Amino acid sequence: MSGASDFRLDRAAVLRSFGRASAHYHGAAQLQSAVGAELLERLQYFPLEPRMILDLGAGTGRGAAALRARYRRARVIAVDVVFNMMQEARRRQRFWRRYDCLCADGCALPFVAQSVDLVYCNLMLQWCASPATLFAELQRVLRPGGLLLFSSFGPATLQELRSAWASVDERSHVSAFTDMPQLGEALMKAGLTEPVMDRELQVRHYADVYALMSELRAIGARHAAADRRRSLTGRHRLQAMARAYESMRSARGLPASWDVICGAAFAGQAPSLNTHEPHAGRETAIALGAVRRRPR
């Protein structure tokens, strides 16, 4: 069975899946909302007065709105690579909690170096092809001492569904997820300092496997491995998987594990950075002040 080290994401499939889910993501993403709220609570342990905040992988803007309420003097920018999600985030704004919306790739942010004080990144890392590349980019845009606060899913996520499918065939049916040691190594390699991480295994229960799969589709969390089977899953194979999953049923229903990793790290001092010039080798880099606000 493939692990996270040899798992490759199909970026186009990820974009399509979340684009289709954008209209109903806000109501369906209950776990994502709960983890995001927990992540926000952790900000109380950091004496911050940020001026510029990125909600990276913002989805429909729930985190951006909460950050705007917490830091009333800060400018908050919701960033997501999925255009439809940014449209939803913009639509859900309230005039007293306005934030900017920007469709951009987190691994190639169009901001000058050392221009951001806080990056809040809730359950986006698992959809990033290279966490190491993302962390390096965040080290670039964060001011020295700036905070990265993030959550991600670990390798025990959906282990029951993975096991049920493994009883049917040897193909990959569930995405692989990066473990804490690999995330820690990527943080340090990128130059981010004082990394702290913890994990919690949360188990949710479902009436049947089809209810779980329906929820995954509703939030856009489809299997997006580059080597996944492209044809439709046969009825007999699906039924065989469902029977295998049924053997795990408890009094509360069918269990589905979510291995939630939360972490924080600070931006280190980058050597010889000119904060007014684009990063070497980049074609575009703009100051945060150049991101256009919507008319009031």
Q: Is the residue at 126 inside a domain?
A: yes
The reported pTM is 0.84
CA 77 to chain centre: 16
Residue 159 scores a pLDDT above 90: yes
Q: Is the residue at 189 inside a domain?
A: yes
Number of domains in the chain: 1
Q: Is the residue at 150 inside a domain?
A: yes
- Is the model more confident about 282 or about 157? 157
Q: Is the residue at 219 inside a domain?
A: no
Domain interval for residue 64? 4-155+178-203+260-290
Nearest to 145 by CA among 113, 175, 114: 114
pLDDT, tens digit, 9 for 90 and up, residues 87-112: 999 999 887 779 999 999 999 999 99
- Which CATH number fits the domain that encloses residue 61? 3.40.50.150
**Residue 198 burial (10 A CB sphere; 0-12, 13-18, 19+):** exposed
Q: Is the residue at 244 inside a domain?
A: no
Question: Which stretch, 201-210, 216-225, 284-293, has highest mean pLDDT?
Answer: 201-210
Q: Is the residue at 88 inside a domain?
A: yes
| Average pLDDT rounded to a whole number, residues 141-148 | 97
> What proportion of the chain, given as a percentage, has pLDDT over 70?
83
Q: Is the residue at 165 inside a domain?
A: no
Nearest to 112 by CA among 294, 265, 270, 264: 270
- Cβ neighbors of 245 (< 8 A, separation 6 or more) are 160, 161, 164, 209, 254
